[in-house]
Amino acid sequence: MESKDSNILEYMVLKNLSLLNYKNFETASFEFDSKINCLVGNNGVGKTNVLDAIYHLSFGKSYFNPITVQNIKHGEGFFVIEGNYDKKNREEKIIVSAKRGLKKIIKRNGKPYPRFSEHIGFLPLVIISPADRDLNCRGK
Ligand SMILES: Nc1ncnc2c1ncn2[C@@H]1O[C@H](COP(=O)(O)OP(=O)(O)O)[C@@H](O)[C@H]1O
Ligand SMILES: [Mg+2]
């Protein structure tokens, strides 16, 4: 029988991420630590784009630019984002791909979702950006 604590702490880790033609990245891959990760680099190298790619894996869209084709690297026809997760001791491979003129596809372990709504919530994620802080200031 599962203990109460193991129900609450749903273990989930993004182990690695690979990008193809996503925003400023032609090809890129990243390995992540299970605890804390820092992205360091000059302005414009793509730190926020990496976070947005991870957001894409959870929600099937960009946090910053909901127009899908604008997330394809300029001059290219498609993007692919792949993330490999450990979730409750199981390997989960999530792929989000988009091609100009075609419907976006989200696959879990090779199987495309018929409806994106079935995927939302599977990989819980929160993104906090400076824009959210600005909204709070206006609402005070
Ligand atoms: N669709 C795209 N194709 C090519 N480059 C893009 C695209 N979308 C954004 N970029 C580029 O990504 C860069 C910004 O990356 P960003 O993640 O905001 O950098 P950082 O957070 O490291 O400062 C800019 O140079 C911008 O032109
Ligand atoms: Mg940034």
Dump pLDDT digits (tens) for 38-80: 999 999 999 999 999 999 999 999 999 999 999 999 999 999 9
3 CB burial (10 A radius; 0-12, 13-18, 19+): exposed
Total domain count for the chain?
1
CA 43 / ligand 1 centre spacing (Å): 9
Rounded-to-integer distance, Cα 11 and Cα 88, Å: 5
pLDDT in tens, 69-118: 999 999 999 999 999 999 998 999 999 999 999 999 999 999 999 999 99
CATH number at residue 57: 3.40.50.300
Which amino acid appears at position 63 of this protein? Y
pLDDT band at 1; cut points 50, 70, 90 = very low
Nearest CA to ligand 1 atom 13: 44
* Residue 74 CB less than 6 A away from ligand 1: yes
Cβ-based neighbours of 100, under 8 Å, separated by 6 or more:
69, 72, 77, 78
Domain extent for 26: 4-139
Name which of 66, 37, 57 is nearest 119 in CA terms. Answer: 57
